[in-house]
Structures are given as structure tokens and as C-alpha cells.
Amino acid sequence: MVGLVDRLRSKFGDRRHAAAVTSGASLEELSVALSSSKGEASGVALALAIIDRYQTLDDPSKIEYLSWLCQSLAPDTQRLDAAARAYLHDPSETHIIELSRAVEAPRQEFLRRLNQAPGATSVIVGMRSDLLATGRHLGDLQGLDADLVHLLTSWFNRGFLEMRSITWSAPADILERVIAYEAVHEIADWDELRRRLLPEDRRCFAFFHPVMPGEPLVFVEVALTSGTPRSISEILSSGRDAKDPLDANTATFYSISNCQPGLSGVSFGNFLLKQVVQDLQREFPGIKNFVTLSPVPGFANWVANETDVSVGEIHVWPEEQLRQLSLRYFLHARRADGSPLDPVARFHLRNGAALDSIMPAANPSERSESESFGLMVSYRYDTKHIEDRHEHYIADHTVALSEALLGEAKQIRP
């Protein structure tokens, strides 16, 4: 394999030459060569060859390769055992450093070297997406997934991200991605996209990364309103009249979409919301309220599986009865770690928001009816209390409530 590395040293950065030199080597052999490569030029050429080869694989072959990568570049257990024994015998700084090095899987250095090639970051994000596509239980691939999350969290650190406003005049490829990636309220066509981006009382903001300039990572759609909307139709109706944003007192975040499946678990949506709040405060001093109009994706499933309520009867319930049942869901439906069962609630409560209001019959779409019987909720970001609420949530998964809901909560039983 050393001969392969030597031949690549003179082919730096040239895909055609790299392909010619590496055509006889397997993807696994190329990966071993990259792991042992010392020179930058040969490393980049190998990385280019690996990326090109990986992208030609079908889905089963990709998983087979990722499984090989996970097992073949795992930590050296003998070195790890020796480092652990040395540290336990003498917990010196030197032994801490050696233990840290022994714990890190060679997979991580391989991925760092792979990332030297132009366009590699996007491919590595895609690798994790391929990994996650195997299902929730990764089995023997957990080690590789942990390494990818560790590196991607560093590479997509908030300091590297750029927030941009997406307007109707944005490049067509960006607009196409907004349509494709919208995860909450489907955008049916270009006319609907225009209604979300063009009016003066509508805004859309996204995070981008310098190495993926045409790919939004996450975006949020905002309606500048007078008070909190009581239904999604107030925001998305095709017949509504645009309002002067200077008359608005509320910014309503009605859709937050994560665009890259491979970055699942790498959190930056919270940073986006906080920066949008700051920018809107500067642009529109009259906006004092920052709220969401949010779906409740786990509600119907919880009702069906964890209560004795007949799902078929809920559609004829009085709204107050549905509100009480949903409040019980937010307060008492928990995961094994004690956090709220609802994923949207976890996101906003962790960010320091409070559950502000509950709105039955707020979304008549088929998806909303199946997920939450058409119910939506609002979370409020009160800039005076965000940090305290965040700390309380981190400490004991406190579900912060508005004053109105606090009164209702006293009547709720598990």
C-alpha cells in the first residue's frame, strides 16, 4: 500500500490522475492507505478517490463499507487497556493525554483526512445520512455514528455558520431547496412560496456553512403579526392581505425545518431562533412578543396508546375537553429520561421557551388531523426569562407554562 501512496504524491488534487492510479485498489485498500498516509498531497488524492468511489455505491454497498470502516478503524483495545492501567496506577497529565489518544478511534483521523478533499464535508454529512437510513437501532455502527456526530458538531460549530435572509429574489436553487426541505407545512408550488417570502410582513432566515454555500442547514419562517395567530390559516391563507410590518407587535415562528438528515443531533436551530429574535428587535423595535405556532406530532399516538380515550370520539369533544387532555400530555407524557415525549416541546422548552397557549382546530390538514386532531400550540420566548427557563429545563425537565395555563394545570391529573 505504500507504493500506492508514493504514486499519488505527484498527482495532488487531480481527480483524473488519482482515479488512474487508484483504479486497481478496492475502496477498503484506499481507506487503509489514507489512514497511513503522511503527506498532504497523497492524502488529498486518496480522499478524492474514496469520495468518488463511495458515491458510485448502491445503498447496501454503502452500509457494507461503513460497517467495515467502523470495525477496521476501531480503537486498539490493547493500547486502551494499557493506557487505562497506567492512568489508574499514576493519574498524571501524561497518562491522561495517552488515555485520551487511546480512546479516540482511528476512524476520526480517517474522517479528518477525508475532509481534506474539496466537497468532502457534504459527502461526509451524506455518509451519516446513509448510516441513519438503516433505522433507529444502529447496532455495531454506533461507534462510527458517535464519531461522525463528534466531528460534525465541531465542523458545524455556531462560529462557522452564516445566517442569511431568504427572500423571493434569492437564487432559484436556494428557493427550490426551501420547497423541498419544508418539513412542517408543505409548499405546494411557486405561488405558495411567493406568498411566504414576498410580502413585507413575512420573513425567512437560514443558516449556511461556507463549505456548503448552496445548502441551507436549517431555516425558520416568520410571520409579523398583531398578536398570536389562532390558526395556521391566518398565516398561510392565499386570500389574506399583507400588513405593514411596522404595525406588528409579534413575531410568529410558524415553521422550522432541518434540511440535512446527516446533521440530525447537531443542534443549531436554537442558535438560529435567538439570532433571528435579535435581528428582528433591531429592525422592528415595536415587536415585543416572540411566539411560535407549533405542531404537536406525538399527541394522537399518545392518546391511542397510553390513555383509555376512544380516538374516534375526540372529534366531537368540546374544545375545552381537548385542551385539558393535551395539557395532560405536555405535563405527564415523558420519555425514559424524564424529558417530555413531544419532540417539538423538547426543542422549544430546552431553548428557554414556555408553553403559552393551546389551540384546538388550528390546522385542518390531513397530517395535523392524524398527528394531533388538528390541535396546535404556541410557545413564547420571553427574553427576560429564557436563560432561567433553560436552566430549569436542563435541571429537571420543567415544562414552563404561561400564567393562564398554570391555572388550568392545577386541575390536571396524570
pLDDT at position 8:
45
Q: Are residues 249 and 339 in the same domain?
A: yes
Mark out the alpha helices in 164-318 (DSSP H runs).
Answer: 172-181, 190-197, 233-236, 269-283, 299-306
Last residue of a domain, one of 106, 124, 155: 155
Q: Contact, 247 vs 255, CB < 8 A?
A: no
DSSP-based three-state secondary structure for 211: coil
CATH code of residue 362: 3.40.630.150
pLDDT at position 12:
42
Q: Are residues 111 and 224 in the same domain?
A: no
Q: Are residues 192 and 139 in the same domain?
A: no
- For each successive 10 residues of the chain (414 residues), what is the average pLDDT? 47 48 81 81 87 95 94 89 91 92 90 95 96 78 93 94 97 97 95 97 97 95 96 94 95 96 88 94 96 97 92 89 95 96 96 96 95 97 93 95 92 79
Last residue of a domain, one of 155, 175, 203: 155
Q: Are residues 27 and 150 in the same domain?
A: yes
Query: Is 254 a member of any domain?
Result: yes
Q: Are residues 254 and 380 in the same domain?
A: yes
Q: Which residue has the cell 408550488?
A: 189
Q: Are residues 113 and 131 in the same domain?
A: yes
All residues at 6 or more sequence positions from 21 whose CB lies less than 8 Å from its CB, including other chains: 4, 7, 8, 11, 45, 49
| Alpha-carbon span 414 to 407, nearest angstrom | 16
For residue 27, which of 8, 12, 47 has the smallest C-alpha distance?
A: 47
CATH code of residue 53: 1.20.140.90
Q: Are residues 170 and 124 in the same domain?
A: no
Query: Is 398 a member of any domain?
Result: yes
Q: Contact, 290 vs 381, CB < 8 A?
A: yes
Q: Contact, 294 vs 379, CB < 8 A?
A: yes
Domain total for the chain? 2
Q: What are phi and psi of 65, to 5 degrees?
A: -65, -45
pLDDT at position 258:
93
Q: Are residues 97 and 118 in the same domain?
A: yes
Last residue of a domain, one of 106, 130, 155: 155
Q: Are residues 267 and 193 in the same domain?
A: yes
What range defines the domain where residue 211 resides? 159-409
Query: Is 414 a member of any domain?
Result: no
Q: Are residues 263 and 399 in the same domain?
A: yes
In the chain, what is the greatest distance between 2 CA atoms, to the nearest angstrom? 77
Amino acid at 380: R
All residues at 6 or more sequence positions from 319 whose CB lies less than 8 Å from its CB, including other chains: 360, 361
Q: Are residues 144 and 240 in the same domain?
A: no
All residues at 6 or more sequence positions from 349 whose CB lies less than 8 Å from its CB, including other chains: 340, 355, 379, 389, 393, 397, 398, 399, 400
DSSP string covering 286-306: T--EEEE-B--TTHHHHHHHH
Q: Contact, 224 vs 251, CB < 8 A?
A: yes
Q: Are residues 150 and 165 in the same domain?
A: no
Query: Is 303 a member of any domain?
Result: yes
Query: Is 305 a member of any domain?
Result: yes
